[in-house]
Amino acid sequence: MTTGKHQPLLSGETHRKTDDVEINGIKDYCKEFYLESKRLWYLAGPAIFASLCQYTIGATTQVFAGKLGTIQLAAVSVENTVIAGFSYSILFGMGSALETLCGQAYGAEKFEMLGIYLQKSLIILNTAAIGLTFTFIFGVSVLKLLGQTTTISVAAGTFAVWMIPQLFAYATMIPVSKFLQAQSKVMPMALIALVAVVSHVFLSWLLIVKLGWGLVGAAVVLDGSWWFITLGQVGYVLWGSCGQAWSGFSWNAFSNLKGFLHISLTTMIMFCLESWYVMSLVLLAGHFENAEVSVDALSVCINILGWAGMVALGLNVAASVRVSNELGLGRPKTVRLSVIVVALTALLIGILFATVLLVYRKQYPAFFTNSQEVMQLVDELTLLLGTLVVINNVQYALSGVAIGAGLQSAVAYMNIGSYFLVGIPISILLGFKFDMRVKGIWYGLVSGSSMQCFMLLLMVSRIDWNEEANVSGDRIKQWGCDIGMKDDVADANNY
């Protein structure tokens, strides 16, 4: 099978073929599975690398802040986790609407629509960022309301004010990233992230340690690193590297913002419910006796889950791009193959991670804590942690499939049912009623995620991909605008 120009070209593939994949026998299936795996990793590899670099930027700042003192470390950690984390989850969720729209439009060769969608998303996310600035400005009061001590609240709240520029970097970078991902332009993003993380480490040492700027230096470097990534990606787009996908700014971006806002909000709900679910379980752990050990053990496990999640996030991005591109092109059989490949890949990677955790269950907790009590509890939770890594990997991959197909609303409802009607009640019941403490919390987390994964599997297995390919053009028109679409939707459906 050869690829279209909307796909990454593989070795030996040099021209376009719009026919859907045809598989006759095991030999054909193995060949197509191999080619689809290469396309998947062409997208997922750089996406994983870029995510790890961006994750490292925040972690590096916390390391250098720790050299200043415990209060400074707490200030950076709390601001990054609570205030910035809350805003990022909202903006990331809203910006992920572009994975559906840009991906399907690019597959259908409605290239002029991508720039319109990008501008719509920039308008919506930067407007949302203006509203979110109040959580930064009044960070001290917000943190006190959440139960933080006055000392930590004041330090983190002051640091949050310095981090307002980062908020608008998020609001600009996220849509541009999704815009580039839809076109499989992931390698430039990875290279920009690499330069950013290397310079971030050096500048953090220079301003925080060498010049003694303290938290002000940490804020300046962190803001600067995120804006470097943002301007690097924007510059890549404006340089003309995206062809017809970017033809300049247009007033058409202001048309039908209400329709575009709808999918942005449903995607936001889908992402936020999951992150808030985990956050709520950490807060629950703080109500046990000897809460410090419980929270620390849960935090170590969630930290491990976060690093594993970078790989899962890359698969999520790759799945959404492959599915949306192929639906836009009108190739349902290729979509089915893509879904199978990404699901099996996610499952195997999850099993690999879980195996490593189980083999080194006595050793890895020492990298995070010196407390024997915490290490013992983490050891006891490792089997559940490994199980959750496997489940989350598959779940993230299937969520990417759902985003590529434009089914965010259905997934949002699943999240509500799985996490807040199953996961949290089980955590409370087992943790408090049956006195299982943090183990009960973790059983609830696994139960909620298992339910979500099962429902996603059920939904994906029942999707009529022929029908989804037929309605992809209508979906683009409904959630975007009518520019260039009056006669094109019918053309897209006839591929």
Contacts of 26 (CB under 8 A, 6+ apart): none
**What is the total count of domains within the chain?**
2
In this prediction, residue 475 has a pLDDT band, given cuts at 50, 70 and 90, of: low
Give the residue from 255, 272, 297 where a domain finishes: 255
pLDDT score recorded for residue 80: 83
Q: Are residues 365 and 444 in the same domain?
A: yes
Pairwise CA distance, residues 424 & 196, whole Å: 38
In this prediction, residue 136 has a pLDDT band, given cuts at 50, 70 and 90, of: very high
Helix H or strand E segment including 276: helix 257-285
Q: Are residues 302 and 388 in the same domain?
A: yes
Give the pTM.
Answer: 0.83
Q: Which two tokens stand for residue 297?
A: 């053990």
Q: Are residues 227 and 269 in the same domain?
A: no
Residues 300-317: pLDDT tens digits?
Answer: 888 788 888 889 989 999
What is the mean pLDDT of the segment spanning 228-234?
97
Count of CB atoms situated within 10 Å of the CB of 290: 11
Q: Are residues 283 and 409 in the same domain?
A: yes
Q: Are residues 223 and 111 in the same domain?
A: yes
Q: Are residues 246 and 331 in the same domain?
A: no
Torsion of CA 192, 197, 202, 208, to 10 degrees: 120
Q: Are residues 213 and 354 in the same domain?
A: no
> Containing domain of residue 342, as a range?
259-495
Residues 250-274: pLDDT tens digits?
Answer: 888 888 788 788 888 888 888 888 7
Pairwise CA distance, residues 401 & 338, whole Å: 9
Q: Are residues 469 and 400 in the same domain?
A: yes
